[in-house]
Structure 1
């Protein structure tokens, strides 16, 4: 499936854009689940100024969607209409050490690199990022966390561009953080943030990071095509426990399977479609609801269109 070519309709102002523009760019290769249709137009801006120029000139009726490294993203088989913005490490991948055990970090910096940079600077409190896939922009958006620490505990302020290309700065309080959620508008594109930790010896930090990595190796199917945790943990319990109790460990639909190793991880066994994966997730939700009365909430973001004739009706929404 392909969309009408947006590039042919946008006008001469594109000559001032320095980043890469690609019409009908397949997105499966940039998501960890390796499924999904194309972006109508994929824009990889050269830097923040380039992105601001593009957004300011882009007709307002054209939707814009930022994505990161695609670690917890399910793009539906029909693709994503409008412009998909994907920040690159070259333009948004800087790390700067500041006074007061703080770091200024670009939104495209992988979470693992955030942990590494903090360790090099002797700044504690970031070891949990060593086990989180994806980049900082996604962590800021979803309040990513692990091992008892969340992004909201580290954020000082965040830089972003709005849909019209205006630069704004948000405080931690502005983010409206809760468990795996922020309340800021979905069309804000985060470009970087200042994070704060505490002074700590590098050797101690690296020991913590090693334990995080070892736990991930033991407990998660990290060598599979997966999007990380499929569902949020319900209050008072763990999603995997409820999935297991409902008999969904190893449940498979088409090429999509709930991992036998960690049954809150959905994996592409090799030939899954996005439809297979989303149908599997909704089937798990239905079975858990029938078994325990618990309504699991998706942690993986599902975006885009179904192919004609397809569709997955959410069982619980």
Structure 2
């Protein structure tokens, strides 16, 4: 299958998954109390800052699409997995609201981030409400499967918080190793993608072995996703990503390409360490210089190669899961979309 065909197929999968999931998301947000309901609705792009309805974009819906695709790959109908997909998307958006605040990012999906519009306190409350709504959806919409589903989501949340905590701690450390950075990414990003794929399998009533294989598929895919996201955060186009390019460098974040560059033992890596160690904020020229040094030190090449390796490992997990052929192809096309973005 050629790359354009894969891209088209994946785009259709995302579109269908969003159409299936959005009504459940809207119902969950509508159940929220004031004053967090309009904040959450703004975050999803359904209203402006004054509460007036708009047709905004709430993201690609990748995690929800993985839930539905995993369920279908195991022979289930999409309706069996819609609540699980909505729950995962609610958790993801809870993390996005909080991450933007913690990182000081003022732009999200091409417009002001939630905290920049409503203030920190209301943004925190709205994020908390989205997390509670995710658990409510699983408990009330999937009562038969809710114990297993809630356990899966809770385990992912604990990993996610640990990964996010490590990410914040790395900002003030000069000695971050590549292995621990990969573990951080495994919690911060990969844990929720792993849970998404596992929840699709749970929704389909799969046995523990196949749930585990889908979970591992999602985990490897999540690591590849984070690697590509880190690359986009340095060299991507903000008009396409909807996020400010260079923000991670300005915060001196130890993203994966940065740590690979710093730990490579090259002269460029040493100059990057000196630049990251300077007091005071990094201006535009320093950010550009840092990006050039990361590339010169091999961080960009390593991250792209590692993303490809993690993608291959993800696809290897599908081989033993006894999937419906069309479902396996759908999951592979989503993997291509996630890991072969323009970087």
Instruction: Give TM-score scaled by structure 1 length.
Output: 0.31
Task: Identify which of structures 1 and 2 has the higher relative contact order when contacts are C-alpha pairs closer than 8 Å and 6+ apart.
Answer: 2
Task: Say which structure is richer in helix.
Answer: 2
Task: Say which structure is richer in strand.
Answer: 1
